[in-house]
Structure 1
């Protein structure tokens, strides 16, 4: 089996035992080699010492040429059983005496070959010169076997073998114990991963068993589990939210449509099928322009431009085509779909069928127009009679009649203005308001507005700054309604009187017209909704002020039809300023 495929325990034990084995073998080999060379040197020293002694004792026998004494001296080598052969050569190199005596002379070299001792095969060979008073009398040849050395080496090898086996057995038990220090935390991690994998339970944590690298690994593993558990919870929550959202989308009464920035439809819910008559398979991957009437094809790009500028599209009223080419009035709210980096990747549209609502508004506006028209006729007659009576009272200098009839005329004018506002609202909602632009002097417009509103109050001072020399190209009648409405509001919402000022300020190619009062002021919350239809300011100080909340809406629409926008700056308790800009006309 490949070591890398074996369990961690076996790997650790194998590594420990292999390491121990290699170290023991290296140490034993070194020891044996050391002993081997030590024994060789010992044998060599012993033989050289013995040879020196024999050579010294043989000097007299060689000097007197006494072979019998020489043989007797060599026979002394019997004391060392490992000496297998020895002989003496005279100074001419001839064999003089030998040991043992019965050994063949052919065993010995014919002549002495060198001086000293060396190993040849399994024997120690030595040549020792026989010297007396500095004169060489001959040479001693001595030959010894190596049995003592080999016997000692065998004994050492035997002892070493059992030491190695014993050491490996001890190493086996030690490795079995020591490997648990490393393998136990790893096996615990393995067990934890198995539980997590089988049960998908990311709440399980591995037990930390130390402060070493394995402890750090356990901490990192537990941190990873914590992150996975957190992400898993978030994914489940996201899936639940997505499922709820999908259910809401499918069950919604409104058509919910997803599209790319290129106008390709990517999603289409059941209500979209009911509203437009197309199935999801018919519309997905189709251009959104399929639902747009020909005259509204530029609308998609205009909406996209507004979204790119950061504008939110809510309750945008438009028209769309059904599968049967029927025009539907719809209210559209558009949200952007962004990627994690915040880049816009698509759009989500919620379309609500307001055809019935539009029909209801048309019927309501027709009713308002009819009622307002029917009220206007008797009001005009009533105003004429009051004006005649007022003229007669002034001739007769009847102070009570003058005051009573003046107040009655003022109330008739208020009623007439209300009726006119309702008529204008009906025309506006029906798309019948026409703006007829023509050049005229701005100063003349403001003067007429002042004359028209002077009679509305006795507690306020209405003044205007000079606007001489400025001409504009606009609908004079409509702008007169704007100024009268703004001045009327300034009077109503400044119940304690004060100054009402009409300012004209030139800014390059434009002139800014502003109406300021010293009234109760308008809160920031009210300012955001001030120009909505039928909206009235929520302020206890002016709760008794009459009105329907359509005046400023009409002002806003008239100014918008002059390519401008009405703005307001106000501080509660200080007063308000309404202003708008118009292009200056070069007459």
Structure 2
């Protein structure tokens, strides 16, 4: 008895299977393409037919809409029952109200609430669309038609029966032909060729060719498989080295990225420190030196006039005023320095309550100057309560100070997206912001100084006219920057000033964790001073 394995699988069965599968696949693809073509063509035809029907019904409905005759409109729509695939239809008058519908058994709520655009579309197994009812150039209303897909389904059932019959007959003929073209040597060679093709196309060397017989083809199969084994081993070594190299490159890249990020942060801090030092040097050499010179001058004058008590009191008063001026300047520098190094946690801050506190703080000044302050519907935003209080206090204080008449101050809030804001604001567009506008009717200033007023110790008016250190608006700018926002100003001489403060409605990335912890521990209460 001979070993069946050495002979392999009978060639008849293998060739028959291959031919049947190939023929079946070809027939299947052909039928699939046919069905797709019929599906697309039928949808186009159905849409064209429904559009034509809609045009006819719309043309027959002009009189009913023109004379407001719902009965005539109903009779026109009833004619659609001759088309068993029309499941719903209705007419809308020129105001968009339902005028007549078909069939009568359907509720008005089952129809669209109003007419849509002139278009037809397939939706939920139906074809529906709107057709304008036009007389001349006047649109009297709109027609809505809805058709089912029954005709297409019926046609596909017939085609399926025909396709099944054709495929069955074709496969039977293939079976008969395959029995006439079988060869004993074909299967091993085809198997070896298929394996070689798979390796060539997919570059996979784990597959092996099947050995069917102990003959020349079997020896060729053994040699081919041995070659695949050698290539597979080499590829494994190459992949291992490649993986190790990629890991090393990835590690070095991460190290470089971390180093670059650290250097960028250090450079930014150094640049900021240099700017702060430059400003402080300017203050020390100008603003702080001015009261110091006065103290020295009046001290020398008082010493030279020791025998004149009246002059000595005057000089002492000048010295005291200069000392107070220097103390105020030093205090302002310290406040500015604290803001530069601030790392306070963020809380939900009710700006309306903060505004009420600011008005309470300035109550005496408001009464003295007969000022009127309007601020309503200010939102709750994440922020540092003390700094936001200081921000509004400085802006309201400036508005009260720089006004030669009864101050009229308005504070409004507008929520806007980053993309909706002006390009000059230069803030990230992925966030939402609140715009606080503080407008007054004060003395104003020339627009060319709009940037200068936010510089530390920069003043537009003499000290004798308006008291102050010249740091208030610099503090405002620093506070807004601490919150990830921006402050701008518009003004005209004698026509008042408007400050625009843009603050994020979301917590800055560096403060998200702190705010989350505060909300967890305090129950999310709003924070004010």
Give TM-score, length-normalised by structure 2: 0.34
Structure having the larger proportion of residues in strand: 1
Q: Decide which structure has the larger Cα Rg and report it.
A: 1
Give TM-score, length-normalised by structure 1: 0.30
